Structure 1
Amino acid sequence: MIVITLTKVPPSLRGDLTKWCQEIQTGVYVGNVTARIRDLLWDRIMRDIGNGQATMAFNAKNEFGYQVKTTRPDYQVRDFEGIPLVKRLNRVDVPVKHGFSKAAKWRKAKAGMQKHYSIESQDRFVTLDIETTGLDPTKDQIISISAVKRNADGTKEHYDAFVKIDQRIPESIVKLTGISNESLKDQGIELSKALHGLKIFVERLPLIGYNLSFDDRFISTGFKTINEEGLSNKLIDLMPIVKKKNKFLDDYKLGTVLEKYKIENSRPHEARSDAEATLSLAEKLIKNEDLHF
């Protein structure tokens, strides 16, 4: 049995969960699924959670008979000799994120432009993609960061970094990304150096990605890990724009969307290749007048 609570998540995620669980109260879902389905559900939540929060409790073989996972920054789950203990943090520094309402987004964007941005041309922006050891920023780590800067004259600049980690890369991630433990050992740099380099590279330009909330959660967690202020750039996620303009795609994975827009990505799940493909997608959306910033 599992119990899932959601707050401030996209409606599409709520709809997905009702395929396996019953919503017994607003934002509270109960279901009886296998461990495999449970883990897949958590992966789906982490992928589509947006700026919301989620907590899952499920059966486990320990003294309490259950285990807990949460994305809430004000709570921390600790394992004490097999017993899950949930600690409430007295103070949590969490950056303010965009709200879901149009008014909230407008207020955030307006304040951000007045305070942070000095953009001479909308033709300058940066696309971003990262690779990680998994989908959960509370336990998984960044292994690769790539960004592509589009200048006003159409030229491009690149930023690439492998990141050293304190755990082995799961074999499934090695197969998916082509990044090996040896690559990180030989070419990787410390997370602090990688994030500093990224911050310098992106300047104050708009930061564009596909399913950007995923990358943003890991980047923000990374900056908190090194006890430094994160990026304050304007964030633009292409996924909701594509969903609005293409309501009948089979799915909205990056590969499916690139095929729809006739964009080639020769090395999917390689950070630089995905960042390049995202830039091409952004350019097509700008040309079609579907993307404005």
Structure 2
Amino acid sequence: MIVITLTKVPKSLRGDLTKWYQEIQTGVYVGNVSARIRDSLWDRIMKNIGHGEATMVYNTNNELGYQFRTTRKDHEVADFDGIPLMMHLNVSSGVVDHGFSNAAKFHKAKIMMKKRGHKAVQSEKTPIVAIDLETTGLDPTQDEIISIGAVKRVKGNQVDHFYKLIQSDRKIPKKIVELTHITSEMLVSKGASLSDGLQALRVFLGDLPVVGYNAHFDGLFLTNGFRKIDQSDLSNKVLDLMPMVKKSDKFLDNYRLQTVLNEYKIENKNPHNSLSDAEATFKLAIKLIENGVLKI
């Protein structure tokens, strides 16, 4: 049996632990895994605990039959003739944070504000285009593009929007209609030809770097679309945000776009609408730039 208690840790870490342990009370996890997995999970806790605290109790071969591990600075695990004891410390074992006068605090705050301001300026000036597609299915060789959405930064911090419905000769599958709210009738009455839609997209993008979420998927459809109209593929630099998020946020429950947007507190009012998804992707890219994860 293994018991882990967590306080003030990132939500992503709490979510990750539920894959192996049951959360029987807020911050209290109980499970029964191998020593190898137990040690591996403790290493992950140590790496991703942030400013929180963790304590683990687990079975072992000693007088009491159990052992402790903790990150608490006001306690220390002591060995008394083979018996583990949780010893309370009068003085925290953490490193003393020098410079705690008001003057030092103001100085520190000033430096942090400058850094944040610099990051904000960089994110505002970064030339970028976010793009998203809706399609009739998942196979780029068989299915077709039915809408294209894109958002780019223009002068100052303003953004410009691009949205096109694309005509299709085939009937839109019912599940796609339910997901995107795009019908065959809409494409007939409001849709542009694939050629006109892709040519307009090329003009909108210019030579700016393009970001997308799971950009490889959209890229295959665009490549196949340009091939259909006998045009060269886009030459823009393409950056996929999904692997960046996976690397920087290792403990999300999954990496679907909506899950990631929730983690970054980005609202997407109309999921599975290419323009709305492109706007959300654009905001995600800005967040990643500010966090130093995305560099263009």
TM-score range, shorter chain: 0.5 to 0.7
Measured in 2, the distance between the counterparts of 1:242 and 1:153 equals: 27
TM-score computed with the length of structure 1 as normaliser: 0.58
| Residue 259 (structure 1) shift | 0.3
Contact in 1 for aligned 2:125/2:156 (Cα 8 Å): no
Q: Distance in 1 between matches of 2:278 and 2:173?
A: 23
Q: Equivalent residue for 2:279?
A: 276
Kindly report structure 1 stretches of 4+ aligned residues shifted beyond 2 Å: none
8 Å Cα contact 2:125-2:157 kept in structure 1: no
User: Which residue number corresponds to residue 125 of structure 1?
Assistant: 128
* Aligned partner (choices 164, 176, 179) of residue 167 of structure 2: 164
In the TM superposition, residue 152 of structure 1 has moved relative to its aligned partner by: 5.0
Structure 2 unmatched ranges of 5 or more: 1-123
Q: Distance in 2 between matches of 1:217 and 1:153?
A: 32
Q: Structure 1: which 5+ runs fail to align?
A: 1-120
Distance 2:179 2:156 in 1: 35
Equivalent residue for 1:103?
none
Provide closer, same or farther for how the CA distance between residues 152 and 291 of structure 1 changes in structure 2, counting only shifts above 3 A. farther
Quick check: 1:124–1:152 contact (8 Å CA) kept in 2?
Answer: no
Match of 1:289 among 287, 292, 296: 292
Distance in 2 (alpha carbons) for counterparts of 1:219 and 1:152:
27
The number of residues matched between the two structures is: 173
Structure 1 residues 122 and 231: CA distance shift in structure 2, 3 A: farther
The AA in structure 2 aligned to 1:222 is: G
SS of 1:223's equivalent?
helix
Higher gyration radius (CA): 2
CA distance in 2 between counterparts of 1:238 and 1:209 reads 6
**Helix, strand or coil at the partner of 1:197:** helix
CA contact (8 A) 2:133 2:145 kept: yes
Given candidates 240, 244, 253, the residue that maps to 1:241 is: 244
Match of 2:262 in 1: 259
- Residue 173 in structure 1 maps to residue 181 in structure 2: no
Secondary structure at the aligned position of 2:252 is classed as: coil
Question: 1:209 aligned to 209, 212, 224, which one?
Answer: 212
Does 1:218 find its partner at 2:258?
A: no
**Which AA in structure 2 matches 1:158?**
H
Aligned to 2:253: 250
Aligned positions of 1:1-293 closer than 5 A: 123-151=126-154, 153-293=156-296
**Residues 242-272 of structure 1 deviation map (CA, whole Å, 9 limit, x = unaligned):** 0000111111000000000000001100001
Q: Which has the higher contact order (CA 8 A, sep 6+)?
A: 2
In structure 2, what is the Cα distance between the partners aligned to 1:152 and 1:286? 18
The code of the aligned residue for 2:232 comes to: E
**Which residue identity does 1:161 align to in structure 2?**
K
Residues 97-123 of structure 1 show CA distances to partners (whole Å, capped at 9, x for unaligned) of xxxxxxxxxxxxxxxxxxxxxxxx961
Structure 2 distance, partners of 1:152, 1:161, is 23
**Identity rate, percent:** 50
Letter in 2 for 1:123: T
CA displacement at 1:151 relative to structure 2: 2.5
RMSD: 1.1
